[in-house]
Structure 1
Amino acid sequence: MRAVAVVELATKTRPVAVIVQQGKVLDFIDGQTQREETPEEYVRQEIAKSLVREYGFPKRDIAVEFTLRLGSKKPRADLVVFAMGDDHHQANSYIIVECKEQKVKANDRTDGVGQLQSYMAACPNAIYGMWTNGIERFCYRKVENKGKISFEEIPDIPDFGQSGDVAERPLFDQLKPASSDALLFAFRRCHNYIAGNQGLQKPQAFWELLKLIFCKIHDERESAEVSFYAAGNERNGINGPLKVKKRIDVLFEQVKKDYPAIFSDNDVVALKPQVLAYIVSQLQMYSLLESDVDVKGHAYEEIVGSNLRGDRGEFFTPRNVCNMAVAMLDPSENQLILDPACGTGGFLIAAMNRVIEKIRTAELARWKGDVKRAEPRVADRVKKFASQFMVGIDFNPELVKATKMNMVMNNDGAGGLYQANSLASPATWEIGLRERNLIGNVDIIFTNPPFGSKIPIDDQAILEKFDLGHWSYNEEEDTWTMGSGIQRSQPPEILFIERCVKFLKPGTGRVAMVLPDGILGSPGLGYVREWILTHTRILASIDMHPDTFQPNVSVQTSVLLLERKTDEQVALEEAAGRKNDYSVFMAVASHIGHDKRGNRTYVRDKKGNEIVEEVEETVKEYLDGSPLYKKQKTQRKVVDDNTIQIAQGFRKWLSEQD
């Protein structure tokens, strides 16, 4: 290899709107006030985003820290929504929201739901209220009867322009895509509620939640009318929760028929009716299918990771690293995509959604922006692509189940997921996977294989099938050679390199693989590098930040992009006694978007203040039952992450190569 291309990684931002001082957070509602960055403020800002993005209330009708009069006291309500266009006076309050940090409980004497209800009682026209600490969430409707005020718990507050009755009986075109961390809050809330009120261990609680998420998605995809809901009068007592259970049981029977590989015939939703009604009420307002991919991925993978991460080197790839690798190899609709160690499906989902965006863009152009005519064509092409061109394999059967759900939630590619040992002989795989005929036929691989000396592959039947199970070092000649003997064991990542290359189409197949840095630099692994140089062309090597996999594990990794050589190319180089010379793209991901504790990091100016940018988002809404895409501008802090710049630099470099 000769000249090496190195991408410049200076962090770039769009035009700066605001500089946020250290320890401050920019208020979402007015876009100017800088508030103390506390746990309670984090919850308040997330709920403020939900009120605007999910519930549809205009920012002009929302006040933050609004002063109320309660006799001689003047407390400040966290968020107050006023009647449309009315002045911000206490008498015009319509919805009151109280936000607390996570350690404050709903039954707290001073800061619990009683505080919210006292505020609602002091505002004559405040009909609805919400209390949340990010984990727990309670919504109320104020009821007056013969001069007495009471508070009825309801599943959700109404959307902008809706009545309370609609909020209890949602229609499909009124379901809200989750934004920011709202879905994460909901999943945590449901998971903790099941564990705390059903008497289940957290992994068992996860599987019960999984069943309900499947029911929710099936309802969105197949039902003519919403069946996944719990009305306000169905939350308590005996009869109401039983009605909810009956609807969910019907949905789950249909789910079992659709996904026999995930659920057995005797599986049931094993939650108490009252617990089930609560969980349904917390999820019913969202459209999981329409929610942003990264929002769903972040929420789902956190819950999966806290319950299913095993002891076999399973460290799930951060979403920004998945997006970087996918953007670098840029898959298309008719390319076979594989992840032989798919985990929770992060790479597959990132690849699938990149292709889906290409399909949607092409169909909208074809139909000149007519969404109603384009969407059915998009759905047909996506279904074909997901079923025929997406394949994932993992050794952990529980992860495969969880990944199937993740793929269903993200546009459905569950039919291409299999439980198998990717390193074993294909003859041992189940018939459906064998019929895929993957060896030598895959266009693109994205993968982060399990790695580490603590989980060695010592099965001689597997080792003997790999070149890298036979290599040895000749000290006198300083060369690595393939012998007839078999090594006692190998770390799995070494064998995964060879298996991935053998999966690829010769001459065109490409792989993006996360590997420990020892592969690229350890003197004792020179034979691995020799094998890579012999059988592949190295396209790129990206040195990842040390905190990439934090807070879960501290490991130094790289992302290696390889293209498989043809047998003729390998033979010609062997005959010539030398490798052909070529350029390699190299970069350092010096900014990964989070610190070692997992906290998000942002771009700062020279004084240490965070920078905010104005961005344009595409929002899907419904008009008379038909989907409508529109643009809206919003402000957000610039995440200190240069992975997408690396991908852009690689694509530019690749276009300049012969």
Structure 2
Amino acid sequence: MKQLPLKILPQLTDYPERFKKLYYHLYSNSSASRAETIISDLSKLLLVALSSQTQTIEPFISGMATANELLIPLLIKRFPKIVADNDKFAMDNASLRAGLLAINDLDLHSAPAHLLGDAFQALMGPRLRGDKGQFFTPKSVVRAMVEITAPGANAKVVDPACGTSGFLSETAFFWKNKKIKPGYLIGIDKDADLSLLSSALLEIVSPEKYRIYNQNSLDIKRLETECLFEADVVLTNPPFGAKIAIKENSILQQFALGHIWIFSKGKWIPTNDLRGSQDPQILFIELCIRLLKPGGKLAIVLPEGVFGNTNSGYIWDYIRSQGTIEALIDCPRTTFQPSTDTKTNILFFEKHQSNTIKRGLESTFVAVALNCGHDRRGKVHKNNDFECISREWWEGKKGKRSNGGCDVHFWNRCQITNPYYLVPRYYDKTTEKLLTQEAAPLHGKLISFSEMLDKGWITIRKGHEVGADAYGTGDIPFVRTSDIANFEISIDPTKSISQEVYEKYAVEQNLKSGDILMVVDGRYRIGRCAILNEFNYQCVVQSHLRIISVSSETPIESIELLYLLNLPSVQREIRSLVFIQSTLGALGKRIKEIKLPLPAKNDQWRATLSRFSQVIYERAKLLQMLKAFDSYEVEL
């Protein structure tokens, strides 16, 4: 085994850089290769450094004793609620000595707590595995949730899926920055390594004012033996996913949402029958509500499926029976990338004592974030809507009409017209405002697809699937969602089909020059459009596309409709209508709700349309001419 030198790091005052270099050095040179092992041992080393017992650890540094012989007893004595009697270091002693030397010269007690906490959070969070549904919550989201719930003096704050203690650490920073008397922080996580890391971090940021429990949060009977209930605030991002569904009857029977509900006479009714399984995030919703005291507040990150699935209505009836939906935040798809592509939103809830479900129209505050501070690859950038959203929230609470110093307003009070469809962006009034603003220069009024269908101005029909066996059997294009870009259809010849397959669908699809193809299902291309022309209309269109035909009675032409559908405000309108189940989005029947401005036929509009039409047509003609230069391709 390769031995590590005792001095492996320069004297960095940049804590994130210090921990990062240490982590990578241990990963490359120690006997440990699993991130969880390194995290666990680094957490113990952090506690050793916090113990400030230099004389006690000197024999280990000099090589006269092993870590398990000397350091573990020290930790058990100093941190009996954190380190168990059977705890052990997993890495070799040479690596542990190097690691301890690297951090032991840091002044952990006088260093700004948030710098140390942020350093460990940023290093460890992204390295956690997602196979258990655990994903690092970005700092921008954590901070916004803490600032909006604003835990008060002496508040009890609980995170029942605390992971790396991001919400709890941020709460401690919030109290310190606002000069609020600290309350008590409680975290629960069934992962022993994460519980240890959380304890180490909270020992830095909130010593003696926290407790981390290493146990199953969903075993409520066990939680009842501890002082975990009657919380003022619950903040959490629970594990989610059907792959880790809860199937144990002993757990399911402790939850109302662990039972089967049926829909009858306009509402959901619980039965005495247990479900075969339940996704963990659903049970966590109920757990969090039960942890709250009356008047307590909850902020929870949930996958978008919870907000829009038809069969999830019972969850919202349960939530309404326990309190008020105070606010909803729509998170950008990049929020948890690159770890996972799952789309999420945030629910803010306040508990009351009544068990009566509210009926009729409901209103709540809605904000839509389009930027989270990093891109889909995790690269940090300056655009962070969550900062503005949290700032504007409290400006509004103070009665000010400020947007928190941001370019746009985010919060709107919105009517929830469908009690079982709560995807936040669907109700966002900003979209309607942007549509109205963009319609003004066109001197037009807004009209929906539904109205255009009723007037007979357009028809909308679905494409078909030809099956993989038909790919490559001929020269007729099979148009898929990936072929739609920049208003044009880019044909993949490997997916072309035979004349026989084409004739099977040609009559029903009835494609012609001027038809518009719109992507309605998928990941990132929903709303993208292209127009068929005289050179490419002989094709078959995939089922994830809709074929929009403009009738002769329509006051606008196909090329006008294509232009209007690609206006920024209309594309945002389409985005607001998309529902994302896990990672895949769908427009569904909501395509009829698309609104666009019907422009006045003035000179400015004619000039704009003429330029657009000319570019589209000339490009199509040039692409057709290029085909004459195609040479024979040799298959590799």
> Which TM-score band applies after superposition, normalised by the shorter structure?
0.5 to 0.7
1: CA distance, partners of 2:327 / 2:252:
28
Determine which of 341, 365, 386 is the counterpart of 1:554.
Answer: 341
Do the aligned partners of residues 155 and 474 (structure 1) sit closer, same or farther apart at CA in structure 2, a change above 3 Å counting? Answer: closer
| Aligned partner of residue 263 in structure 1, secondary structure | coil
- In the alignment, what sits opposite 2:386? 643
- In the alignment, what sits opposite 2:359? 579
Q: Which moved more, 1:335-344 or 1:394-403?
A: 394-403
2: CA distance, partners of 1:195 / 1:653:
48
Amino acid at match of 2:62: L
Q: Which moved more, 1:210-219 or 1:250-259?
A: 250-259
Determine which of 132, 141, 151 is the counterpart of 1:321.
Answer: 141
**Structure with bigger gyration radius:** 2
Amino acid at match of 1:553: T
Do the aligned partners of residues 468 and 191 (structure 1) sit closer, same or farther apart at CA in structure 2, a change above 3 Å counting? Answer: same
User: Contact conserved, 2:15 with 2:116, CA < 8 A, in 1?
Assistant: yes
Q: Any idea what the Cα deviations from partners look like across 1:572-612, whole Å, max 9, x if unmatched?
A: xx6xxx537664211011121100010001xxxxxxxxxxx
- In the alignment, what sits opposite 1:260? 80
2: CA distance, partners of 1:414 / 1:449:
23
Distance apart, 1:560 and its partner CA: 0.7
- In the alignment, what sits opposite 1:200? 32
Distance apart, 1:244 and its partner CA: 8.8
2: CA distance, partners of 1:470 / 1:246:
52
Q: Any idea what the Cα deviations from partners look like across 1:255-305, whole Å, max 9, x if unmatched?
A: 221223443446566766654453344324423344445543443234434
1: CA distance, partners of 2:97 / 2:259:
59
Do the aligned partners of residues 325 and 206 (structure 1) sit closer, same or farther apart at CA in structure 2, a change above 3 Å counting? Answer: closer
1:336 aligned onto 2:336? no
User: Contact conserved, 2:128 with 2:135, CA < 8 A, in 1?
Assistant: no
1: CA distance, partners of 2:60 / 2:81:
33
Do the aligned partners of residues 240 and 416 (structure 1) sit closer, same or farther apart at CA in structure 2, a change above 3 Å counting? Answer: closer
| Aligned partner of residue 593 in structure 1, secondary structure | strand
| Aligned partner of residue 301 in structure 2, secondary structure | strand
2: CA distance, partners of 1:596 / 1:553:
9
Distance apart, 1:420 and its partner CA: 2.1
User: Contact conserved, 1:448 with 1:515, CA < 8 A, in 2?
Assistant: yes
Do the aligned partners of residues 257 and 481 (structure 1) sit closer, same or farther apart at CA in structure 2, a change above 3 Å counting? Answer: same
Amino acid at match of 1:340: P
- In the alignment, what sits opposite 1:523? 310
Distance apart, 1:462 and its partner CA: 2.5
Q: Which moved more, 1:254-263 or 1:243-252?
A: 243-252
Distance apart, 1:463 and its partner CA: 2.2
Distance apart, 1:434 and its partner CA: 1.6
Q: Any idea what the Cα deviations from partners look like across 1:145-195, whole Å, max 9, x if unmatched?
A: xxxxxxxx89756xxxxxxxxxxxxxxxxxx8x4xxx32332233233334
User: Contact conserved, 2:372 with 2:383, CA < 8 A, in 1?
Assistant: yes
Q: Any idea what the Cα deviations from partners look like across 1:406-448, whole Å, max 9, x if unmatched?
A: 211323358511122222232x34xxx723151xx11110011
User: Contact conserved, 1:339 with 1:393, CA < 8 A, in 2?
Assistant: yes
Q: Any idea what the Cα deviations from partners look like across 1:461-485, whole Å, max 9, x if unmatched?
A: 322332223343447x453222232
In the TM superposition, what are the counterparts of 1:203-282 in structure 2 within 5 Å?
203-219=36-52, 242=62, 253-265=73-85, 275-282=95-102
1: CA distance, partners of 2:90 / 2:242:
40
User: Contact conserved, 1:405 with 1:414, CA < 8 A, in 2?
Assistant: no
2: CA distance, partners of 1:302 / 1:561:
25
User: Contact conserved, 1:294 with 1:319, CA < 8 A, in 2?
Assistant: no
User: Contact conserved, 1:451 with 1:493, CA < 8 A, in 2?
Assistant: yes
Q: Any idea what the Cα deviations from partners look like across 1:39-90, whole Å, max 9, x if unmatched?
A: xxxxxxxxxxxxxxxxxxxxxxxxxxxxxxxxxxxxxxxxxxxxxxxxxxxx
Determine which of 580, 593, 598 is the counterpart of 2:378.
Answer: 598
| Aligned partner of residue 272 in structure 2, secondary structure | coil
- In the alignment, what sits opposite 2:226? 435
Distance apart, 1:328 and its partner CA: 0.3
Do the aligned partners of residues 285 and 496 (structure 1) sit closer, same or farther apart at CA in structure 2, a change above 3 Å counting? Answer: same
User: Contact conserved, 2:262 with 2:271, CA < 8 A, in 1?
Assistant: no
1:410 aligned onto 2:205? yes
- In the alignment, what sits opposite 1:23? none
User: Contact conserved, 1:289 with 1:411, CA < 8 A, in 2?
Assistant: no
1: CA distance, partners of 2:290 / 2:93:
51
User: Contact conserved, 1:390 with 1:413, CA < 8 A, in 2?
Assistant: no
Distance apart, 1:521 and its partner CA: 1.4
Higher relative contact order (CA 8 A, sep 6+): 1
- In the alignment, what sits opposite 1:447? 236
Determine which of 92, 100, 120 is the counterpart of 1:300.
Answer: 120
Distance apart, 1:555 and its partner CA: 1.2
Do the aligned partners of residues 251 and 533 (structure 1) sit closer, same or farther apart at CA in structure 2, a change above 3 Å counting? Answer: same
1: CA distance, partners of 2:235 / 2:304:
18
- In the alignment, what sits opposite 1:588? 368
Distance apart, 1:246 and its partner CA: 8.8
| Aligned partner of residue 558 in structure 1, secondary structure | strand
Do the aligned partners of residues 267 and 398 (structure 1) sit closer, same or farther apart at CA in structure 2, a change above 3 Å counting? Answer: closer
Q: Any idea what the Cα deviations from partners look like across 1:615-649, whole Å, max 9, x if unmatched?
A: xxxxxxxxxxxxxxxxxxxxxxxx21121211122
User: Structure 1: which 5+ residue stretches go unaligned?
Assistant: 1-135, 139-152, 158-175, 231-238, 363-380, 602-638
Q: Any idea what the Cα deviations from partners look like across 1:363-396, whole Å, max 9, x if unmatched?
A: xxxxxxxxxxxxxxxxxx75xx3xxx22111122
Amino acid at match of 2:299: A
Distance apart, 1:307 and its partner CA: 5.5
Give me the TM-score of the superposition, normalised by structure 2: 0.56
1:458 aligned onto 2:283? no
2: CA distance, partners of 1:560 / 1:501:
12
Determine which of 558, 563, 569 is the counterpart of 2:350.
Answer: 563
1: CA distance, partners of 2:256 / 2:320:
14
Amino acid at match of 2:275: Q
Distance apart, 1:213 and its partner CA: 1.5
User: Contact conserved, 1:328 with 1:650, CA < 8 A, in 2?
Assistant: yes
Do the aligned partners of residues 395 and 278 (structure 1) sit closer, same or farther apart at CA in structure 2, a change above 3 Å counting? Answer: closer
Q: Which moved more, 1:511-520 or 1:206-215?
A: 206-215
Do the aligned partners of residues 229 and 520 (structure 1) sit closer, same or farther apart at CA in structure 2, a change above 3 Å counting? Answer: same
1:482 aligned onto 2:270? yes
Amino acid at match of 1:391: I
2: CA distance, partners of 1:418 / 1:268:
19
Amino acid at match of 1:449: P
Amino acid at match of 1:645: C
Amino acid at match of 1:434: T
Amino acid at match of 2:367: A
- In the alignment, what sits opposite 1:393? 188
2: CA distance, partners of 1:325 / 1:410:
19
In the TM superposition, what are the counterparts of 1:88-127 in structure 2 within 5 Å?
none
Determine which of 328, 344, 348 is the counterpart of 1:541.
Answer: 328
Provide the alpha-carbon RMSD of the alignment. Answer: 3.5
User: Contact conserved, 1:227 with 1:247, CA < 8 A, in 2?
Assistant: no
Q: Any idea what the Cα deviations from partners look like across 1:549-578, whole Å, max 9, x if unmatched?
A: 0110011111110011212xx34xx6xxx5
Do the aligned partners of residues 274 and 486 (structure 1) sit closer, same or farther apart at CA in structure 2, a change above 3 Å counting? Answer: closer
- In the alignment, what sits opposite 1:496? 284
Distance apart, 1:205 and its partner CA: 3.5
State the number of aligned residues. Answer: 397
User: Structure 2: which 5+ residue stretches go unaligned?
Assistant: 401-412, 414-636
Do the aligned partners of residues 218 and 650 (structure 1) sit closer, same or farther apart at CA in structure 2, a change above 3 Å counting? Answer: same
Amino acid at match of 1:215: V
User: Contact conserved, 1:542 with 1:588, CA < 8 A, in 2?
Assistant: yes
1: CA distance, partners of 2:8 / 2:197:
31
